[in-house]
Amino acid sequence: MNIIDVLDKGYVRLVNHMGSDLTVVNAARVSYAKESKELTEKDIKLIKFLAKEGHTSPFRHAVLQFEVYAPLMICRQWWKYVTGSAHYEGTGDSLEAWNESSRRYITEEPTFYIPSKDQWRGKPENSKQGSGDAVEPELGEKLTRELMEYVEQGVAKYEAALADGVCAEQARLFLPAYGMYVRWYWTASLQSVAHFLNQRLAHDAQVEIQLYAKAVLELTNPLFPNALNEMLES
């Protein structure tokens, strides 16, 4: 399995990867001009030691590439891990890459995330951000209906602007932004992936991005079962 569906129309797809647990081990052992051919218990203990002591550079020699299709509100949260990666724990140059579809160049049919009536959440009682319990079903049904009407109106105006000869990069201004699905490639080191997971699997992360993080975890774990486990916070 290399693709996992998320939300109503989204997904995370594992496109490619480089390395394994053994890659982390051998990146560390090269300091002593040594190399392991097969992963042993001794190697697993080394991975535990590296993670525990914060010797993270060997984890940056393993790389994963994902294709993600998600609402813009998720995309912009995710993007912070690329812009900040060059400064994360003094890692130096970024080991991440990001390429995103652009409505400057394409006019494919817009797709939007529409929560169902039981997916709307109220504001939390003791926090300025995040969400609380589900709203009443009657309110949820009203919100879903109104959002669908709003989206349909925006798409109609977008298509009308295109029909009038307006350029795609300006016509897109009529599209409701935050719920619109966008597609991108994310290539990152195993350390960067673990950093993303540690923050976005947390209980106080936005529910929707938690679902995407769980998909990334499910796709990554079989490839790096020991190294990823040690890099994740309990």
Task: Convert the pLDDT of each residue in 83-131 to its tens digit.
Answer: 545 544 444 445 567 777 766 666 678 899 999 999 999 988 777 677 8
Residue with the two structure tokens 């394994």 = 20
- The active-site residue, picked from 104, 145, 172, 200, is 200
**Is 200 noted as a catalytic residue in this protein?**
yes
pLDDT by residue (tens digit) across 76-89? 889 877 754 554 44
Q: What is the pLDDT of residues 54-83, one digit of tens each?
A: 999 999 999 999 999 999 999 988 987 775
Q: Please say if the pLDDT value at position 230 is more than 50.
A: yes
41: exposed, middle or buried (Cβ count in 10 Å: 0-12, 13-18, 19+): exposed
Closest CA to 65 of 150, 188, 149: 188
Q: What is the pTM for the complete model shown?
A: 0.88
Stretch among 15-29, 55-69, 125-139 having the lowest mean pLDDT:
125-139
Contact 184, 218 (CB under 8 A): no
Q: What is the pLDDT of residues 192-203, one digit of tens each?
A: 999 999 999 999
Distance, in Å, from the CA atom of 138 to the CA atom of 160, rounded to the nearest integer, reads 33
Average pLDDT over residues 197-219: 95
